[in-house]
Structure 1
């Protein structure tokens, strides 16, 4: 059996390119996920695929960072595939193929490069977030009530008006009003 594995990190990303490549490469069954590649534990479909490999099966993916971003993970995955009697091949990295004797060494090096890319992405994201915060950019959901409205809510609560009536007046939920009251304490 020729299996294909496609992965992207977020739900907004598209798998179409990988799926098309895997179909054209002759995959009989393609497993895909929209999960981070930082480790294999968070990818249940991939773990099921690995556990189900049998002697003679081939596992194809487009490139190593679709399979693993960590060099040790990639080598361990190679070993697991080999111990099942199967083969792992990467369409865009033909030098990582369990048929070669030095595949694990090359995979470790390639995995290390993938790990460095991931660390660079994380650093760039953190730097961008810090710069945005320094410019006054607010992160997270926009507050449902302005500061002026919050003050009005607290004033109405202090006068004993029920939360349900205040919530209705501001077109928000009672829990939103309760949290405003809670912030006042």
Structure 2
């Protein structure tokens, strides 16, 4: 199946010029672009549109890995999603191609290596987080997120009846959504 050649470009700031990346991609049927940090996938509209657009047989060209994924975990997830849709991804600077082509065992190996690195990175992040919390607790600087009291719970119910979302309520009370969910759950028991 022959598809389209699609490009993806990401620059960090509006002051940067995407022309160099676009030039390196070469001839593309369509190019998707984002401006800003790659840290948040939600803020990357170009990436979301690329993911919706890509079909089996398409080739996605990206100037380098760091333009596509913020970290190994993010990169692996994006590559996995694109290849599950039947696309082939070419990372030009690295000279690396990723696809679900079973006839190319090296590609399969590299995708699995990325998955292992992503798992390792996730474990190291959790480990560093736990160490940081332990140090902060020892210094008396760690504060557990405050629980919401009964008055807060009444206000939450009122706001929910008025149609406010739990995310909006969490922002208003300066707590996580999970804290709102836990408070509501605690109220049911």
CA distances 1:133-165 after superposition (whole Å, capped 9, x unpaired) = xxxxxxxxxxxxxxxxxxxxxxxxxxxxxxxxx
CA contact 2:62–2:92 (8 Å) conserved in 1 = yes
CA distances 1:23-75 after superposition (whole Å, capped 9, x unpaired) = 2xx32211112121113221011111112211101111010000011111111
**Within 5 A, what are the aligned runs for 1:23-172?**
23=26, 26-98=27-99, 99=101, 100-107=107-114
SS at match of 1:88: strand
Aligned equivalents of 1:12, 1:55: Cα separation in 2: 35
TM-score (norm 1): 0.54
CA contact 2:32–2:49 (8 Å) conserved in 1 = no
Report deviation, 1:21: 0.8
Q: Give the aligned partner of residue 8 of structure 1.
A: 11
Aligned equivalents of 2:113, 2:19: Cα separation in 1: 28
Q: Please tell me whether Structure 1 or Structure 2 has the larger radius of gyration of its CA atoms.
A: 1
| CA distance 1:73–1:85, change in 2 (3 Å) | same
| CA distance 1:106–1:39, change in 2 (3 Å) | farther
SS at match of 1:54: coil
| CA distance 1:17–1:109, change in 2 (3 Å) | farther
Q: Structure 2: which 5+ runs fail to align?
A: 102-106, 120-189
User: How many residue pairs end up in the alignment?
Assistant: 112
CA contact 1:56–1:87 (8 Å) conserved in 2 = yes
Q: Structure 1: which 5+ runs fail to align?
A: 113-185
Aligned equivalents of 1:106, 1:56: Cα separation in 2: 24
Aligned equivalents of 1:7, 1:110: Cα separation in 2: 23
Report deviation, 1:105: 3.9
Aligned equivalents of 2:11, 2:117: Cα separation in 1: 18
Report deviation, 1:111: 7.6
| CA distance 1:21–1:82, change in 2 (3 Å) | same
CA distances 1:63-96 after superposition (whole Å, capped 9, x unpaired) = 0000011111111111101111111111111235
CA contact 1:5–1:59 (8 Å) conserved in 2 = yes
| CA distance 1:39–1:104, change in 2 (3 Å) | farther
